[in-house]
Amino acid sequence: MDYFNYKRRVSSVTRIGDTPLGGENPVRVQSMASVSTMDTEAAVQQAIRIIDAGADYVRFTAQGERESRNLGVIRQLLDEQGYRTPLIADIHFNPRAADVAATTVEKVRVNPGNYVDKQKTFNHIEYTEEEYAAELEKIRARFVPFLNLCKEHHTAVRIGVNHGSLSDRIMSRYGDTPEGMVASCMEFLRICRDENFHDVAISMKASNTVLMVRAVRLLVRTMDAEDMHYPLHLGVTEAGDGEDGRIKSAVGIGTLLADGIGDTIRVSLSEEPEVEVPVGRKLLAYIEKRKGHASINAESTPGFDPITTERRHSRVVKGIGFPHPPVVISDRRNGNYAIDKNAVPDYFYTGTIVPENLPQGVPLILDGSAWKGEKDTYPYFRADEVGSAVSCKAELKFIRLSYDDLSEEVITFLKEDETAVVILTTSHVNGLGHQRAAMHKLLTAGCDVPVILNREYTEADKESLQLESASDFGALFLDGFGDGILLQDENLDALVIDNCMFGILQATRTRISKTEFISCPGCGRTLYNLQSTIARVKAATSHLKGLKIGIMGCIVNGPGEMADADYGYVGAGKGQISLYKGKTCIVRSVPEAEAVERLVQLIKENGDWQN
């Protein structure tokens, strides 16, 4: 990986029907059906909609052997209608179902956390070295016959690790950490290598973007050390719907694609599966615009490790800087001073105007030439105005610079003037690499000036802005950079932009400003209407700032991903919902009609309700 210049990682090639993965093949986009795998007609029609939307692969859940066999029927019916797109069987808890699926579809996903290991119970059991080795032999004994079936039928395998379903055995040794996810994966990869089975892909998924990105980066490093180069599937689990789902997915997937990592992606939205595909294509196209860009000449700070990054330590200037949460600056030069009460910026940038009808308590940033020292106003200088910034006596001043402006003279000024805050911008086609270069130059120089990250876009639709800005800013915040954010797009309303900025900070876990909903996209295991349920839960709880609520279709990842949530709403059977506090199931099998009201009651009983 070149940290500053975009270059796609070279992986081995995995054969998946007529659509190979990895190597020099294009990055593939996929989605997962949400209908029952036993509803053959509905499954075929949904697969066609997904394929027509542009998917390279379609995944179906297969809870048991019956579902795996029916995938063969679905495959045949799709073939008869001229749809040869490979199908993938998604297996949890049932290796016999994986065996059958290996004979019916082009690829089988197995989860190391529950392929042989028992269902997660959250018991912290101590294993001796002998006991641990014996468990690995149990995995080998069960997994090798499955690989032999896959060889016989030319079926590919995805080793799909989920943060939410690591086994108790892995948890006992590693906890639910990136190291635990990598260890779980490598156990299975080493068996594949020993058995000379090469048609393998890997995924490392979590609802926490910080953990997901670190796990994938660590896996690549670990595989490289063992001369493994398998292709990678990227996704953020339980990303949610709407704006939050798109921003969260773009933060996780976009960061890794920008690193050059990733051979297939799935944007997991709690919406119809065919909607996911164009979103994924749009994100991928944006990242790939930087192919062959002008080289960025930069060096990484000695000792910097993108796997173990923490937030950069900066000085504090009037509440801006480490350890304060990143500030939000809203560009209001167009004269629109409206605010969304759920996304109130910390500063308005108004150019040369001091408006009279401002919301109370929002300070102003003014162009340096227009600043007269009024109360709660602060000057803003551009790179060619550094001389004016040097002589300015404001208690807080902003200087807009790019990597190319960071001369030794400018860095000396930034180190010595403790009232300065940099607004770091870029116009490079690989703006992420360009801004990374600037941050590393400041780090290496020992310059602790606070930095506001700034990007300008020209998108006319908000989805494009959400995907592009979340992938750009998200990567920098996940790297530990940024004491604030200034996102600009003259084609979109200021409130849309403000919500996008707060959404990026929420998705990178650098500033929590609203309820976080960890909701799965649904699949054939989901036994209730996920989309309408999410809407009802949000309507009842979206005012609970800072609370994390999981909304899960079934038990597979539910309790595990909700280990990161405060409360959980999990499908327990047809028309039945179980409610969780953290990892603990508090109320079992509530009728679905009563479940949202009972969830509210549970939150109130635990003192987390706000009116």
User: Which residue would you say has higher pLDDT here, 574 or 336?
Assistant: 336
Which pLDDT belongs to residue 562? 62
The answer to whether residue 63 sits within a structural domain is yes
Q: Which of 33-47, 171-185, 481-495, 558-572 has the lowest mean pLDDT?
A: 558-572
pLDDT band at 94 (very low <50, low <70, confident <90, very high): very high
pLDDT of residue 119: 56
Whole-number average pLDDT of the chain: 92
Q: How confident is the model at residue 575 (pLDDT cuts 50, 70, 90)?
A: confident
Q: Which of 188-192, 195-199, 350-354, 513-517 has the lowest mean pLDDT?
A: 513-517
CB-based contact 318:395 (threshold 8 Å): yes
pLDDT confidence bin for 270, thresholds 50/70/90: confident
Q: Could you tell me if residue 322 is inside a domain? A: no
281 lies in a domain?
A: no
Look at strands 576-581 and 584-591 and give their pairing: antiparallel
The boundaries of the domain holding residue 89 are 13-234
In a domain, 239, yes or no: no
Going by their DSSP bridges, the two strands 21-22 and 13-14 should be labelled as: antiparallel
Q: Give me the CATH number covering residue 74.
A: 3.20.20.20
Burial of 455 (0-12, 13-18, 19+ CB in 10 A): buried
Mean pLDDT of 527-556: 82
Inter-residue contact 371 to 354 (CB < 8 Å): no
Rounded to 5 degrees, φ, ψ at 40 are -60, -50
Supply 598's token pair.
């009972």
In this predicted structure, what is the pLDDT of residue 123? 59
- Pair 579, 493 in one domain: no
pLDDT at 523 over 80: no
Residue 295 lies in a domain: no
User: Could you say which of 456, 479, 507 is where a domain stops?
Assistant: 507
- Number of compact structural domains in the chain: 3
Same domain, 158 and 57: yes
Residues 336 and 220 in one domain: no
Amino acid identity, position 570: V
Contact at 8 Å (CB) between 513 and 503?
no
What is the pTM assigned to this prediction? Answer: 0.92
425 and 559 both lie in a single domain = no
Mean pLDDT (whole number) for 313-320? 97
556 and 441 both lie in a single domain: no
Same domain, 494 and 520: no
Residue 248 C-alpha from the chain's centroid: 5
Q: Which of 180, 212, 234 is the last residue of a domain?
A: 234
Q: What is the pLDDT of residue 124?
A: 56
Q: What is the mean pLDDT of residues 407-432?
A: 97
> What CATH number is attached to the domain comprising 331?
3.20.20
pLDDT tops 90 at residue 584:
no
What CATH number is associated with residue 601? 3.30.413.10
Residues 486 and 599 occupy one common structural domain:
no
**CA quadruple 264, 185, 174, 2: dihedral sign:** negative
Confidence of residue 40 (pLDDT cuts 50, 70, 90): very high
Q: Which two tokens stand for residue 77?
A: 């019916």
Question: Averaged over 344-359, what is the pLDDT?
Answer: 91
Residue with tokens 């911008």: 425
Classify burial at 586, counting beta carbons within 10 Å of its beta carbon; exposed 0-12, middle 13-18, buried 19 or more.
middle
Nearest-angstrom CA–CA distance, 257 and 434: 16
User: Residue type for 89, please?
Assistant: A
| 59 shares its domain with 144 | yes
Cα 357 to Cα 353: distance, rounded to the nearest angstrom: 11
CA distances in angstroms from 166 to 107, 414, 585, listed in the order given: 22, 46, 18
pLDDT, one tens digit per residue, over 212-250 is 999 999 999 999 999 999 999 999 987 677 889 999 999
Nearest C-alpha neighbor of 283 from the set 92, 472, 82: 472
Task: Say if residue 431 is in the same domain as residue 575.
Answer: no
The DSSP symbol for 377 reads E
Across 26-35, 193-202, 365-374, 513-522, least confident range: 513-522
**pLDDT tier at 122 (50, 70, 90 boundaries)?**
low
* Statement to judge: residues 600 and 552 lie in one domain: yes
In a domain, 261, yes or no: no
What pLDDT score was predicted for residue 557?
Answer: 56
* pLDDT bucket at 549, cuts 50 / 70 / 90: confident
**pLDDT, average across residues 292-311:** 94
Local confidence band at 555 (pLDDT 50, 70, 90 cut-offs): low
Q: Are strands 364-367 and 13-14 parallel, antiparallel or unpaired?
A: unpaired
Backbone torsions φ then ψ of 425, nearest 5 degrees: -120, 175
Mean pLDDT across 528-549 = 85
Q: How confident is the model at residue 240, as a pLDDT?
A: 76
Token code pair at residue 475 = 């990567």
What is the pLDDT averaged over residues 295-317? 95
Of 9-18, 308-317, 473-482, 594-603, give the lowest mean pLDDT range: 594-603
pLDDT at 565: 81
Domain boundary among 234, 261, 279: 234
Percent of the chain with pLDDT strictly greater than 70: 96
pLDDT at 118: 65
Nearest-CA neighbor of 237 among 566, 585, 571, 562?
Answer: 562
| Cβ atoms 267, 283 nearer than 8 A | yes
What is the phi/psi pair of residue 428, to 5°? Answer: -70, 145
User: Both 20 and 160 in a single domain?
Assistant: yes
Q: Which residues contact 315 (CB under 8 A, 6 or more apart)?
A: 321, 418, 448, 449, 450
Shared-domain flag, residues 167 and 45: yes
Residues 99-112: pLDDT tens digits? Answer: 999 999 999 999 99
Lowest average pLDDT, out of 26-35, 172-181, 374-383, 415-424, goes to 172-181
H or E element that contains 434: helix 431-444
Q: Sign of the C-alpha dihedral, residues 51, 57, 60, 65?
A: positive
Kindly state the tokens that stand for 544: 């609970």
Residue 276 lies in a domain: no
Whether 206 and 164 have beta carbons less than 8 Å apart is answered as yes
For residue 309, being part of any structural domain is answered with: no
Token pair of 343 as six digits:
């996304």
Over range 546-555, report the average pLDDT.
80
pLDDT at 159 over 90: yes
431-483 residue pLDDT tens: 999 999 999 999 999 999 999 999 999 999 999 999 999 999 999 999 999 99
Average pLDDT over residues 352-362: 85
